[in-house]
Structure formats: structure tokens, C-alpha cells
Structure 1
Amino acid sequence: MNIAILSIGDEILRGIIDNKNASYIANKLFMNGFNTKTIISISDNLDEIVETLNQLSKSHEIIISTGGLGPTPDDKTIEAIAKWSEVPLVENNKAKQLIKNHYKKRNVQITQMRKKMFLIPETSELLPNSVGAAPGIKITKGNTTLFALPGVPQEAQAILDEAVLPWIIQNYSPVIWTTALTFRNIRESELATYIESKINDFDLLTVAYLPSFGYVRILFSANKDYTNDNSFNQFLNDLIFKYQEFFVYKSIEKPEQYLHKLMLNTGTTLCTIESCTGGIVASKIVSNAGSSEYFRGSLICYSNEIKEKILKVPKDILTTKGAVSEETVKYMAENGKNLFNTDYSIAISGIAGPTGATPDKPVGLVHFAISTPSNIYCYKFVFHGNREINIESAANTALLLLIQHIEFFKINFIKN
């Protein structure tokens, strides 16, 4: 089965917005065992949309399009789909009711322009939009099934997860087997040197190295199932053992996603005490719905005054050791945990750059302290990037260190 993702919108071609939909859809498909063969971006031009659908339908069983379902004059996708499928546009009572209810709840008037969204191709099936106004549609022509989704990422993702993926999984068998490992604060080239020396022992297995700031994910995929392959499992165990200082978890998930599940499963609570990251760690945590079950809050103590007055970091520590020091983050972590009354806290203080360095404290130096139910653990890293990269690296590292401590609870030493 071949799948195409078609992104429709002038704003994408002009670089005004990132094409988040294509990456989200392709990733979701892949993680469910399906490969995307083609990704195309085109403009809001009626004839171009029709021609692209004609070309894609010759070699793809499934097309997932995003964009152009709204009420404005530049939204041409529904009209183009009707022309491509050679069926008339008709007013759909279900679409009409869904859209009216959406705007009624928001005290927004149904204008003549918005009534355009009542129209869908006659033979299409409506895909309700649980987030926004414009519904998606599903329509089949010949051997090709087209799913048309709105361009707003939250809306497209909701319809994909609630309607499109379940349909694909029900009607097609996955063709890809995957497993993944996540390591922190290690170069992908070091991992690759070991992995590539072993990987030829396994037929049909491919490896993707997915580096991010502060961590790298290793994705293994194959057209056969290696779950119960003893040799492959031994290889994974050897890899984890060799790099056990840096190994964090078995999953392709981002750190904040994995931490979210871990916190819910353990029933423990957490707070963040941030200086150089300025709330980025907290922002990543609360990006997960339901994080209020365990996340009590965050304190951004950017100035020494706040560190001293609220977190009770002794003035002589700030004067003699400095804000970016092991001694300071220890006070921040422990007193922050007491302030929020949590099981865990993590404190971060560093020099993001480009200024602020001293002869013994370079740009990129970040100190971390994790206060657990039984102890406080401190770490020091020097990240080598610009300000944005250093902050992102520090935020991800904070989450990954937390995961290690919550997973294993007592880590007496992790070599840095």
C-alpha cells in the first residue's frame, strides 16, 4: 500500500508557517507500521489541486490532504475534490448542524461565507472535527481513498487520530516493525560506530539516528518482526550495557511524553526550579494533557535576589560560589521541593550565552540538581551551541535526568 501526504496552502510554499501536519501524519503512520511514499506541498490553486490528485491517485491507495477546507475564498480544496471525483457539491445536513453548533457555542454568527463549509462532495463521508469548525471528509475514487483534513494542525491531528488512523489500521496490515532506544548527552556517531559494526548480522533491519539537543533516539525498523529474536535482543542488551551511563528508556517518545506517563504510573509529584531555562522545562511538562495530576508548579528564579529571598540560597554561597554552581542548585532543588511539597524537584542554573562567561565558567555551563524522596544528586554539563541550543539542551537534559532517577530511583553515580 502506498500513502501520499498532500499539503495545500500558499502559506506553506512561502515559508510563512512550518508544515507541521506532514511531519505529524508521517510519524503517526510510521509508528503504526505504515510507510509514507510521497509528501507534496502545493498552492491553493484549483486546477493544480485537481491535477495533483489525478497524478497521486495513479500510484497511491491512500491520500491524506491538509488545508483548504475553511470558508475563505482561498480555500479551494473541497471544490477541487468534487471536480477530481466527478461528483457535485451538495449541502450536507450533518456538516451544517456540526458547524452551526460549533459557532453557537462561541456566540459567533453564521455568515454567508461560513455557509460554504456546509457543502461537501456528494459521495463523501463526513469526518467530524472535535477541535474546530470545518469537518474533514473521506471519499473514494477507483482504488484510491482520499482523506481531506483542515490545515490548522490541532484540527488535522485530532481528525487523523480519531478517524483516519483507526480506519487505516482496520483496513490494512502494518508492514513495518519498529523499536527504539533513547540516550542522553552522547554523540550519535559514538553510538553509530558500535551499532553499524553489528547491524549486518540482521537481515532487513535498518537504523535511523534521530539526534535532538541533549539526546539521541535510535530507531530500528524492519519488514519482519524481531520482537522474539534472541540474537537481536542480546544485541540490544549489549548496546544498553555498553552505554548504560547514557541510556534512558526504550521508546521513540520525546522526553516530556515519556516523563508524563512515568509520573502518572508512579503517582509521584514534581516541580521545576529554573534559572537559565526560563520555564522551558515546565512548558514541556504541561504540554501533556493531564500533567496537573503530578506537576505542582515552577519557579523561575532568574535573579540572585529571588534565589536568596524565595529559595533561601545563602548570600555567601551566591557571593563565593556564584549562581551557576553545584552549591546553589542544591539549595534551589531542596528548598524548591519543600516550597511546592513534591516528591521530586529539579533545579537548573547555567550560562546560556552569548555573554556571562568567566575564565572558569564558560558559555554553555549548566548545573543541575535533582531532589528525590531520599537524596539530592548534582550534575554539570557544558553544552556547545548558541543561546537557543544551550537552553533547549539543558531543558531536555533536565527531563532525561529526572526520568533516570524516577525509573531507577537511586542512582549513586552517572558518569558525565
Structure 2
Amino acid sequence: MIAEIITIGTEITTGSTLNTHSKYISSKLLDIGIETYYHTSVDDHRERVKNIMNIALQRSDIIITTGGLGPTDDDMTKEVIAESLNLKLVRDKDMEQSIEGIFNRLDKSMPSNNIKQAFKLEGSEFLNNSIGTAPGIFLSKDNKKIIMLPGPPNEMELMFNNEVIPRIHEDSIIIKKSINLIGIGESQLEMDIKDLINSEPSVMIATFAKEGETEIKIIGKGNNEELIKDKVYNIINILQNRFHKYIYGFDNIPIEVVVFNILRERKLKIGFCESCTSGLISSRFGRIPGVSEVFDRAIVSYSNNSKIEELSVESSTLEEFGAVSEKTAIEMANGLRIKSNLDITLSVTGIAGPNGATENKPIGLVYLGISSKEKTISIKCNFSGNRETIQNKTTTRAFAELRNFLLNKSLT
């Protein structure tokens, strides 16, 4: 089945509100084996909404709209869809009483325009909104499923999970897995799995890029659970053999959690000293529940003086090689480990931009240092993007290199 998501609202098309609905719904649909082919955003304009709806009816099997179910004049989703389908809007007394009850519980009188929310398309059913006044609507007509959801994200998400998924989930058995990788780009990844993508009709394989990492999603769909499971895990085994040096986990476990689990299992204490990432590595690590078992300390050392005073970096190193250098990264990691008597330390120094680049040291140049009592290594990285992107990519790569260091592996 082909799904289409239409987000309705001038606040979205003008950029005043971030459209998170399409991402959320598409992800949830994919989890149950339904692919979303189209995303459309349209403002609160009757004719434009009608035109978009008519196009969707021609090309999609499941049409999900968000927004336009409120009580005001510019909330017109139901009216426009009813017009497109030549259906009447009928007033539902039970829903009217339910909406009025919400206001009564708040010791308020229901405004007359809220009665509009008690109308539904003939042949449709209401979707319960347990935290708002705008009910959703579900309509099945001419082999199409049309779903109208409210705009507020908390209302939409709750309604989608509780009311929509049970109505569109097919009887087929769905088995889904994700493989998470760092160190290989999406374009290369797709080239390397082209032979698998269409090899098995009952299994869908898709790749996704994130900042500094990639994901392979495998979704099997069918009526025989054992057969589907065998097919999915056969593909996973092939992918593991091909990309074992890049795979760090499954089912979207964060890379920092993988590192935390290894450190906790081995009863090791870690510390970070960061320059260009400004504490981002420490922040991501510090969000993990129970991290105090392994996380001892972190230092943000931007200036050369702080590197000398806090991390025992030699002034001669900074003068000869500069703050962004392999030798500085090594001395930072060594200095923190020795000074703090830790089992393992990670340092990062680089140029996140937009300023600070030289002819030999471009924006995106980053050095990582990892030190243990047994050995110290450095890793040179070159990242593209703006300052925030470079910091995020650096942080992800840092955790990947930590994992590989602990497991005696290498990304290069």
C-alpha cells in the first residue's frame, strides 16, 4: 500500500512551526510495513487544500492529514475532504456531548464554534482524542483509507498509536531490524547492497543517513513467521559479513550506550578532555542512566593555557605543532589520564569553523586521542558541514573510536 501524509497549516508553510508530523508518521508506518511515497504541506487555503487532496486520492491508498480539525474558520480539513468525496457532514450528538463534557469539567462554557468538531463525514468514524477537544476521523471508501488527525503533536501521536495503527495494521506478520554503522557513507553503503535490495520481495531493505552514522533497516512481511524470520536473519548475516568493521549495534542503540556497556562490564573509569566539541561528548555520555559507574570527569580546554595547566600539554608542543595536531591530542589524553589516575581517556581538538582555518589545517580537521595504561593512539578525521554538524559528527566518531579501541578494532 502507498501512503501519503498531508500536513495542513499556514504555520508550517511559513516556517513558524517545525513539521515533525511527517517524520513521526512515516517512521511508524514503516514499522508496520507501509511505505510513505509522498509528503505534502499546504497552507490554510481552501482551494489549495482541495487540490492537494484530489491529487492524493489519485495516487495513494492511505491518506493521512494533520491539522485543520479545530473550531475556527480556517480549520477546514473535514469540509474540504467531504467536498472532494461528495460526502455530507453529519452532526454527532454523542460527540457533541463529549466535547461539552470536557468544558464542563474545566468549569467553562463550550463556545458555539466548538460544535463544528462534532461533525463527521457520512460513513466515517471518530478517532478518540483523550487529551484534546478535536476528535480524529477515519474513513474507508473506494479502497482508500483516509485518516484526519489533529495538529498538536502530543494529540496526534497518541491518537495515531492508539486509534490509527490498529485500523491500518494488516494481518501480515512484520519482523523489523535495524543495523547501525559508523565509518561508511550512505551512498557507498547503498552501492554495496544493491544486489540485496530487490532480491527478496517479502523483505524491504532501506538505508538512512544521520550525522556521522548510517542505518540499514530490514523489514520482513508475510504470513509465515518462521519463513519471514529466516529471510530477515539471512540478510542480516550477509550484511554482518560485509560490514562487520563498521557495525556498532542493532535496533538504533546509541553508540555512547554501547561504549558505556563495555566500560561498565570491564569496570573501567573514563574521562574526556574536549576542545572543539565544547563538552558535547561529555553531555551525550552524561545523559545515560547509571553513567556515574564509569564516568569520572570531563574538561573543556579551549585555550592553550588550559591545555597546559589542566592537561600537562607541553608549551613546546603547542608552539611547534599547534593546538590542532596529532601530538597535542595525544598529550591531552595522556595528561588527563595520568593526572586523574583513570583507566582510559579521550581527547579531541580540531577546527569546527567557521573561523580558524589555515592553508594546512582546513575547517573540519579534527584529531582524537585515546589513552590507556597499555597504549595511546591518535586518529585524524576530516569532516564537512557547518560548525554544529562538525561537532556532532566528531562526537559520534569519538564514541565509535572508543568502542573500537576497547575491542581492539579499527575503522581504517
1:160 maps to what in 2? 160
Does the CA-based 8 Å contact 1:276-1:348 persist in structure 2? yes
The residue matched to 2:241 in structure 1 has which SS?
helix
CA distance in 1, matches of 2:262, 2:408: 23
2:90 maps to what in 1? 87
Does the CA-based 8 Å contact 2:259-2:399 persist in structure 1? no
Q: Is 2:410 the partner of 1:414?
A: yes
The residue matched to 1:127 in structure 2 has which SS?
coil
1:126 maps to what in 2? 128
What is the CA deviation profile of residues 304-355 of structure 1, one whole-angstrom value per residue up to 9, with x for unaligned ones?
3444455565555544543323454456557778999998765432112343
* Stretch of structure 1 that moved more, 113-122 or 26-35: 113-122
- 1:394, CA displacement in angstroms? 1.6
Does the CA-based 8 Å contact 2:8-2:44 persist in structure 1? yes
What is the CA deviation profile of residues 354-380 of structure 1, one whole-angstrom value per residue up to 9, with x for unaligned ones?
432345533321122456898765422
- 1:66, CA displacement in angstroms? 1.4
* Stretch of structure 1 that moved more, 55-64 or 262-271: 262-271
- 1:29, CA displacement in angstroms? 0.9
1:137 maps to what in 2? 136
Does the CA-based 8 Å contact 1:347-1:368 persist in structure 2? yes
1:227 maps to what in 2? 229
- 1:264, CA displacement in angstroms? 7.5
Q: Which residues of structure 2 form unaligned runs of 5+? A: none
2:239 maps to what in 1? 236
CA distance in 2, matches of 1:118, 1:262: 54
Q: Is 2:196 the partner of 1:195?
A: no
The residue matched to 1:210 in structure 2 has which SS?
strand
CA distance in 2, matches of 1:393, 1:27: 23
2:250 maps to what in 1? 250
- 1:280, CA displacement in angstroms? 4.5
CA distance in 1, matches of 2:335, 2:158: 40
Does the CA-based 8 Å contact 1:82-1:89 persist in structure 2? no
CA distance in 2, matches of 1:223, 1:189: 26
CA distance in 2, matches of 1:397, 1:114: 57
2:323 maps to what in 1? 323
Q: How does 1:211-360 map to 2 (within 5 A)?
A: 211-221=209-219, 227-229=229-231, 232-241=235-244, 244=245, 246-251=246-251, 253=252, 256=254, 259-260=256-257, 263=260, 273-281=273-281, 291-294=288-291, 300-309=300-309, 313=313, 315-330=315-330, 346-358=346-358, 360=360
Q: Is 2:12 the partner of 1:12?
A: yes
* Stretch of structure 1 that moved more, 26-35 or 355-364: 355-364
| Aligned residues with identical type, % of pairs | 26
2:390 maps to what in 1? 390
Does the CA-based 8 Å contact 1:95-1:118 persist in structure 2? no
Does the CA-based 8 Å contact 2:128-2:163 persist in structure 1? no
TM-aligned CA distance change 1:411 to 1:292, over 3 Å = closer
What is the CA deviation profile of residues 245-273 of structure 1, one whole-angstrom value per residue up to 9, with x for unaligned ones?
x332234x3x74x6458758986897764
The TM-score normalised by the length of structure 1 is 0.70
- 1:156, CA displacement in angstroms? 3.2
The residue matched to 2:324 in structure 1 has which SS?
coil
Q: Is 2:379 the partner of 1:379?
A: yes
2:184 maps to what in 1? 186
- 1:30, CA displacement in angstroms? 0.5
What is the CA deviation profile of residues 159-199 of structure 1, one whole-angstrom value per residue up to 9, with x for unaligned ones?
43454335544xx2357655443332224444444433566
The residue matched to 1:68 in structure 2 has which SS?
coil
CA distance in 2, matches of 1:113, 1:281: 51
Structure number with larger C-alpha Rg: 2
2:40 maps to what in 1? 40
| Number of equivalenced pairs | 392
Amino acid across the alignment from 1:412: N
Does the CA-based 8 Å contact 1:85-1:141 persist in structure 2? no
The residue matched to 2:90 in structure 1 has which SS?
coil
Q: 1:173 aligned to 171, 174, 177, which one?
A: 171
CA distance in 1, matches of 2:188, 2:47: 50
CA distance in 1, matches of 2:154, 2:104: 20
Does the CA-based 8 Å contact 2:136-2:147 persist in structure 1? yes
Amino acid across the alignment from 1:39: H
CA distance in 2, matches of 1:114, 1:311: 68
- 1:8, CA displacement in angstroms? 0.6
- 1:291, CA displacement in angstroms? 3.7
CA distance in 2, matches of 1:368, 1:120: 60
2:29 maps to what in 1? 29
* Stretch of structure 1 that moved more, 178-187 or 337-346: 337-346
What is the CA deviation profile of residues 382-409 of structure 1, one whole-angstrom value per residue up to 9, with x for unaligned ones?
224454543332233234335x35xxx7
Does the CA-based 8 Å contact 2:12-2:19 persist in structure 1? yes
CA distance in 2, matches of 1:389, 1:328: 23
- 1:33, CA displacement in angstroms? 1.9
TM-aligned CA distance change 1:113 to 1:366, over 3 Å = farther
2:206 maps to what in 1? 208
Does the CA-based 8 Å contact 2:79-2:89 persist in structure 1? no
CA distance in 2, matches of 1:238, 1:165: 35
Amino acid across the alignment from 1:186: I
Does the CA-based 8 Å contact 2:369-2:377 persist in structure 1? yes
Q: Which residues of structure 1 form unaligned runs of 5+? A: none
TM-aligned CA distance change 1:96 to 1:3, over 3 Å = farther
TM-aligned CA distance change 1:7 to 1:272, over 3 Å = farther
The residue matched to 2:406 in structure 1 has which SS?
coil
